[in-house]
Structure 1
Amino acid sequence: MEYTERQQKIIQMLKAKSPLTGEEIANQLNLSVPTIRADLRLLTAVEVLSARPKVGYVYQGDNQAGVDYATLYEQPVSAIMQPAATIKDDATLQVAISKLFLQDVGTLFVLDQEGQLAGLISRKDLLRASFNNSNPESVLASVIMTRMPNIVTVTPDMTVKQAGQLLLKHKVDSVPVVAQSAPQEVIGRITKNRIFQHFIEQA
């Protein structure tokens, strides 16, 4: 398996001295813990490192003969995407709140009356709107949503690595997967958790 330069530095660091906490690793790299969290998750998932509660990370060997780099990173988004949770732009705030929690998702994708992607609503959006409005039945999804074109999207032919890079770059947890031939037709979603689950499944 091919590792990034930063992942290789983490491996060498823990080969030389184990255990180290996430903070100690981040300090030696002059980075923040959130910045290296994805690297630590991956190295733990493929069992190069083990994470010991209240102790830190321990190097346990690069036994990755069965892990294929292409399988982890180069699979198309279409292979791991999940169904999208959608709502119409004329739905009320109350309906949006109910749907988000009933479907246990972090983001709802808002569709216009033609079924095209018009925006999205996150848990933060709903929480903010709930505080600002005493009557959730009077507020429409179209009023509180983040609108196109300020939404990051991916297509099903993009790789898992490309999708993950977009999630990290834009600091979002979920993006809609749209059809290649119709950039406002939502056909699924991809999340940070789904990508992490994919790594675990392939380890």
Structure 2
Amino acid sequence: MEIVDLVKERAPITGEQIAELLGISRPTIRSDLSVLVMLRLLDAKPKVGYFPGEALKPERTVYSSLLQWKVKDRMSRPVIVRDDATVGDAVISLFVDNVGSLIVTDESGRLTGMVSPKDLLKFTLGHPNAASLPIRMAMTKRSQLVTIGPDDTVLEAARRMMSHQLNSLPVVRPKGNPQDGADVIGRITKTNITQAMVELASDL
């Protein structure tokens, strides 16, 4: 939370000044600043800079809650399909479970990928018999995914989602050896985080 500390000490302070003090470029912290403003940890005024937000007032508990809340406290049940399921099976699961993406695992429950409606649309447009093909041919593979751990903070989950423009993250727990991959234990979405913000706002 170096950014928050800098703003508390030097407000008003611009994004460029924050980046310079941290020794990084302005674009690098743009998503972080957006998240902190959204969470009311910072306030921003055009052509002036950043100030401490409402959540940082001494009587507020929001700041400490955001640092204490773990992903495991707010995550949802993962909606999973096996990597040997068909594209048709995945389409049905998306509609039945009413989710924006499916987590794909192997027979041992290890994360192998994710698939979204956009992935399925792109794949089916070029494959007339796509419904009968395995979902692993259409999914985004594990190496390209952004994940989060159960003991990471909700604030970190929000930062990763905004930074990578994602609607959800798989929550994974690494196995004993890195080469063995990771087990999927949940998912955290923008909806989960919004619900958390509503709870916090009701306490203000």
User: SS of the counterpart of 1:176?
Assistant: strand
Given that 1:88 and 1:110 are in contact with CA atoms closer than 8 Å, whether structure 2 keeps it comes out as: yes
Change (3 A) 1:62 1:166: closer
Given that 2:150 and 2:173 are in contact with CA atoms closer than 8 Å, whether structure 1 keeps it comes out as: yes
Report the Cα distance in structure 1 between the residues aligned to 2:71 and 2:109, rounded to whole angstroms: 22
Which 5+ residue runs of structure 2 have no aligned equivalent? 13-26, 44-52
Deviation at 1:76, TM superposition (A): 0.9
Deviation at 1:166, TM superposition (A): 1.5
TM (norm. structure 1) is 0.68
Change (3 A) 1:180 1:140: closer
63-72 or 188-197, which deviates more: 63-72
The answer as to 2:39 corresponding to 1:42 is yes
Report the Cα distance in structure 2 between the residues aligned to 1:71 and 1:180, rounded to whole angstroms: 26
* Equivalence for 1:108: 102
168-177 or 128-137, which deviates more: 128-137
Amino acid at match of 2:39: L
* Equivalence for 1:173: 167
* Equivalence for 1:185: 183
* Equivalence for 1:125: 119
User: SS of the counterpart of 2:102?
Assistant: strand
Deviation at 1:93, TM superposition (A): 0.8
Give a deviation string over 1:79-99, Cα, whole Å, max 9, x none.
Answer: 001111100111111110110
More helix by share: 2
Aligned with residue 156 of structure 1, among 141, 147, 150:
150
Report the Cα distance in structure 1 between the residues aligned to 2:195 and 2:130, rounded to whole angstroms: 35
Q: How many residues align?
A: 168
Which 5+ residue runs of structure 1 have no aligned equivalent? 13-30, 49-60
80-89 or 193-202, which deviates more: 193-202
Report the Cα distance in structure 2 between the residues aligned to 1:132 and 1:70, rounded to whole angstroms: 50
Deviation at 1:140, TM superposition (A): 1.1
The answer as to 2:81 corresponding to 1:72 is no
TM (norm. structure 2) is 0.68
Report the Cα distance in structure 1 between the residues aligned to 2:34 and 2:124, rounded to whole angstroms: 32
Q: CA RMSD in A?
A: 3.2
* Equivalence for 1:83: 77
Percent pairwise identity: 33
User: SS of the counterpart of 2:143?
Assistant: coil
Change (3 A) 1:39 1:154: closer
Report the Cα distance in structure 2 between the residues aligned to 1:73 and 1:200, rounded to whole angstroms: 16
Report the Cα distance in structure 2 between the residues aligned to 1:62 and 1:175, rounded to whole angstroms: 28
Deviation at 1:41, TM superposition (A): 4.4
Report the Cα distance in structure 1 between the residues aligned to 2:170 and 2:69, rounded to whole angstroms: 17
